[in-house]
Chains A and B, each alone.
Chain A
Amino acid sequence: MDTKSKNIRYALGTKIAATILAWICFLSASGSGLYLLDHNEELTSKSYFDTSSFQLEFSNLLHNVIELNTFLIDEETIKSSGQEHKIIQNNLMRLNRINQHLSDTVNFFFLVIDTNTNEQMTNIQSPDKIKFIEDMPFNVYYNEYDSMYTTSYDSRYHYYYDFNSMLAGTNYEVYASVQEPLQIGDIFYESNITYNQVKATIQNIIILGIASFIILLACIIYLVWVTGKREKGGNIVLIFVDKIYTDIHLLLVIIAAMISIALIGQFSYYGSTETIIAASIILAFDFWIGISYFLSMIRQIKNKQLITNSLTYTILKTFTNFIKMCFDGKVFKVWLMFLLLVYAGINSIVFALSLLGGRINFLAGLIFLMFFNTLILIFLGKSLASLSIIMESTEELSKGNLDYKLNSSKISIAFINLAENLQSIQMGLKKAVAEAIKGERMKTDLITNVSHDLKTPLTSIVTYVDLLKKEALDNEIANGYVDILEEKSSRLKNLIEDLIEASKASSGNLTVKFEKVDLHELVLQTCGEYEELIKSSELDIRINSEFPTLVTADGKYMWRIIENLMSNVIKYSLKNSRVYIDIIQTTTHGQITVKNISATALDISPEQLTERFIRGDSSRTTEGSGLGLSIAQSLTTLQGGIFKIEIDGDLYKATVSLPLWISQSTDNEEND
């Protein structure tokens, strides 16, 4: 359970989910932020009367009232003002609009008093008009010099117009108010309803914004913690984004940020819901760029490669390495670098001088440069030629031609060290190979000689044991001993013969007479030879082959190989099991595959089985020398074939592949 939760913690799905959650939270947080920014007045104000929209509306109405009563008065006054027709028309239009405005409101009340005439202009029905206004929670008062306002809230009233200067030079006193509670029927009422709706929503938006921000923060902390990790305590796994050089990545992110800032700047002129949507889309893109950059940086910090993975670092490193290489003499000796500088210097100085010094000097300079560069080219050509000689010699060496002689007299001075080193490598290699060959030959000789020396006394043993058997021994136990002697001496004989054969086969000391061999025929012949053993071993041998498969091989060695495989099959197979011998033909090879089920468990590798003296049964109780498979492998290799052993549980499979017989025009042994 615990490990399962840990696995989930590092699972790719969880990470993706966390990222998407972070994205959603980011969007909602930033959306809420933008919304709050847009409705900051609703957020900060306590009532609709504090908002600038109310105050602007109120100021407009007040402005209208003052304009109407102090300036426009009525249609007659305008018409008789004697002003230009255009202005009169304009003023008439204005008068209409103001009257319209005033008649549209139900909550706005005004009282304009001309102190000279005590004439009153008002829309108030009440008898004590001043008291009516001053009883209102929100009211204002203006005259030529003064202004006064009262609100039920401790907020300021914004002056949108300079009403004092509008009233300058007049004797008007202006009272105005908006009643509370608002009555249905005008813009104040509707705006108030909207205001209250927004005010109610803002609470939820704030909660949403804060919650989103907290979840976003949690997601980012989680992502920072698990990014780059596939399991607890595991290595940091980098993804393709991390291959981007860190400084290039930073640059790309900055460019993206600048583009989005510029775009949002463009949108802010229009200012509306569309702005919010557009900004959100841009922010949504920016989030992905930002989070991928941020997490990539975190991964690289975790992997301690924030600095080393930057382009700047790489360039600096390459540059310093190059400088180091030049002066360490590892690639080129210092003097070679120096010569290069001198060469460039001479060329440029002479060219500059000849350009400066008139026509004759120019020609002389040109001729000098031609000679100089030709000389350098010849030198370079020689160096390159010697380099190609060295390359040729390394190629020969890699092909195994250790006797290839490098003509060191032709090598240019620049590469003489390389050539000498190469020659000493060649000498060392040659010596090692010669010693290896000598050692192998000595080993083979030793085995052969020892075997010969063993054979002579063994002959005596075999003969005398046989003679002893013919003597009439009264003692039954002695007869038993003689039987053991006979069995063991014949075993010894087989061992020695196998030993000689193995040593010869593995050292390649055998001559191979290639001829056309039919694998099918060979297998049938072998089964004929082993018929009685097969019958007594109770094995069911199934041969799968339809057509003659002709291969190029030495029949005698092929028989030895198949004989070894068959005797193994008979010795080691599970009683009453089936043995499959398949002969198949590939495009290049003929293949015999022998498959059987081992009687004992084969806890040994196929490679070990073909080593000398290794046997499937480690107790070595059965007869056999342990050389059979080694001989079979050596003989197959000797004939240019492939010998392969596969073990799958108790299934033992030996495959011998030999190149197919390619019929030649001189092949006149065709069957009739």
Chain B
Amino acid sequence: MSSLNILVCDDEIAIVDALEIYLKQENYGVLKAYTGTQALKVLSENDIHLIILDIMMPDLDGLATTLKIRETLNIPIILLSAKSEDTDKIIGLNFGADDYVTKPFNPLELLARVKSQMRRYTALGSIAEKTNVLKTGALELDQDTKELRLDDEPIKLTATEYGIVKLLMENLGRVFSINQIYERVWNEPSFSAENTVAVHIRRIREKIEINSKDPKYLKVVWGIGYKIEKY
């Protein structure tokens, strides 16, 4: 498999260098840029499969750069930013980015996100339509084989966990309270002090999420219940 190239762009040289080390360890080809214009220049001259882009940069900032890139290219873009507000994330994603990582980040988390995006990007054409499969984003639940896959990687679930995931994936985007989940998965009336559901949910999240504190799929709606996001 020919090397996949990643463009890393940040005005902080130390961060770019550090990311280069991590990415090279994972056998990615790394190209570096320190401003938005440099990044566009590198893009036009090289075959790039993914971009990691800082937002706050001199000359052309990350958001403007993203807009420019999206005019021609469909490659995954991961934004890096010190701004951690929800609104900042929403703006970034709406500008055409695929993921958003806030500084200071855990390098391993960023790496996981890179891999995830890369898999999705490269495997895009190979997905064959399967029947009896529940799907959201890169998360698939095969009801025939009773198997949960994330980016085509199988994830091991217990029977209860499978039941919960199945319930939530059958009703993507819908919020279920603890009681409702208990009654439907365990098939018996719930007792109010039951918090096993919450514990199971957290375990599932740890298995399927890159950062379980900032989940992408299985989300906690505080004080209301749980849901799996529809993508």
Which residue numbers of A lie inside 8 Å of B, CB to CB? 452, 455-464, 466-467, 493, 497, 500, 515-522, 524-529, 531, 543, 545-547, 551, 553, 555-556, 558-559, 671
Contacts and interface: CB of A to CB of B under 8 A. Distances in A.
B178 A464 contact: no
A555 B222 contact: yes
Interface stretch (B66-74, B104-112, B131-139): B104-112
B15 A460 contact: yes
Central interface residue in B14, B221, B223, by most chain A CB within 10 Å: B223
Given A467-B21, A528-B202, A521 B107 contact: no
B116 interface: no
Interface residues of B, number: 36
B222 A463 contact: no
A591 to B, nearest CB: 14
B108 A466 contact: yes
Given A458-B103, A493-B104, A521-B225, A527 B82 contact: no
A524 B178 CA distance: 8
A464 B18 contact: yes
Interface in B173-231: 177-178, 180, 192-195, 197-202, 220-225
Nearest to B105: A459
Central interface residue in B83, B177, B222, by most chain A CB within 10 Å: B222
Given A462-B105, A528-B195, A545-B193, 5 more contacts: A464-B18, A517-B224, A519-B223, A525-B178, A531-B195
A522 B104 contact: no
A545 B192 contact: yes
12 contacts: A455-B82, A455-B103, A456-B103, A459-B105, A460-B18, A467-B22, A521-B178, A528-B195, A529-B198, A546-B192, A558-B223, A671-B180
A516 B224 CA distance: 8
Contacts of B44: none
A528 B199 contact: yes
B27 interface: no
Contact of B106 (A461, A462, A525, A543): A462
B180 to A, nearest CB: 7
B224 A555 contact: yes
B7 interface: no
Contacts of B202: 528-529, 531
B199 A531 contact: yes
A565 to B, nearest CB: 14
A459 B178 contact: no
Given A460-B14, A527-B195, A529-B202, A518 B223 contact: yes
Contacts of A531: 195, 198-199, 202
B38 interface: no
B160 interface: no
Interface string B59-86: 0000000000000000000000011100
Contacts of A455: 82, 103-104
Given A524-B178, A528-B195, A529-B202, A459 B222 contact: no
A546 B193 CA distance: 8
A289 B200 CA distance: 86
Interface in B142-190: 177-178, 180
Contacts of A522: 222-223
B84 A497 contact: yes
A527 B19 contact: no
Given A455-B103, A463-B15, A466-B108, A527 B198 contact: yes
A462 B193 CA distance: 40
A459 B192 contact: no
B47 interface: no
A441 B200 CA distance: 43
A555 B194 CA distance: 20
Contacts of B104: 455, 458-459, 461-462, 493
